[in-house]
Amino acid sequence: MTKNIVFVLIIVQASFFLREESYGQSQKKFTISGYVNEKGSKELLVGVPIYIPEIKNGTATNAYGFYSITLPPMDSVTLLFSYIGYGSIAKRFQLDKDISLNVDMEPSAKFMKEVEIVGEHVEKVSHSTQMSQIDIPIQQIYQC
């Protein structure tokens, strides 16, 4: 009787172990992370949107220019980096392991046009501190 109980416990324990292992394999996820900086100065870029069309979602760089996203395994994944004033970058690769991907974005002058702001200062009557006045000719005062 005791041998049967021990045998059943071993089988139950083995089935849980096998189930956990197969569950862990199917739920394996991989992380893509790195820094986004300017190509010339290597200055870290904050708030760069990173879009992944395959999942219709994405992320953005934090205050240190760092990004990280965790995804299930895929045949191929595309990361689109776009930032105002910089050329867009697309990186495509197979997602079968954790990936460290640093990106250098190049400033793009073709998107930036010169803007000139010109203004005039017109003093409004409501902004002057002068009291109201009426001009009365002296002859009119003598006639009164």
> Is residue 78 domain-resident?
yes
Q: List, for residues 19-64, the tens digit of each pLDDT value.
A: 444 444 456 889 999 999 999 899 999 999 999 998 889 999 999 9
Give the CA diameter of the chain: 137
Share of the chain above pLDDT 70, in %: 72
Q: Provide the mean pLDDT of the chain.
A: 80
Residue 124 pLDDT exceeds 80 = no
Residue 128 Ramachandran class (φ > 0 left, ψ -120 to 50 alpha, else beta): beta
Confidence of residue 85 (pLDDT cuts 50, 70, 90): confident
Using the predicted structure, report yes or no on whether residue 128 has a pLDDT greater than 80. Answer: no
Confirm whether 45 is domain-assigned.
Answer: yes
Domain annotation covers residue 50: yes
Is residue 69 a part of any domain in this protein?
Answer: yes
Identify which of 25-29, 103-107, 115-119 has the greatest average pLDDT. 103-107
> d(Cα 29, Cα 71) in Å, to the nearest integer?
5
- Give the CATH number of the domain where residue 49 resides: 2.60.40.1120
Whether residue 68 is contained in a domain is answered as yes
pLDDT value, residue 110: 63
Q: For residue 142, give Cα distances in angstroms to 78, 134, 135, 137.
A: 93, 17, 14, 9
Q: What is the mean pLDDT of residues 5-18?
A: 52
- Does residue 88 sit within a domain? yes
With respect to residue 130, please indicate whether it lies within any of the assigned structural domains. no
C-alpha 27/C-alpha 25 separation (Å) is 5
Range of the domain at 61: 29-108
In a domain, 90, yes or no: yes
Q: How many domains does the chain have?
A: 1
Structure tokens at 82: 């776009």
Q: What is the pLDDT of residue 50?
A: 94
Judged by average pLDDT, the poorest of 24-38, 67-81, 96-110 is: 24-38
Mean pLDDT calculated for residue range 63-85? 90
Q: What is the pTM of this model?
A: 0.58
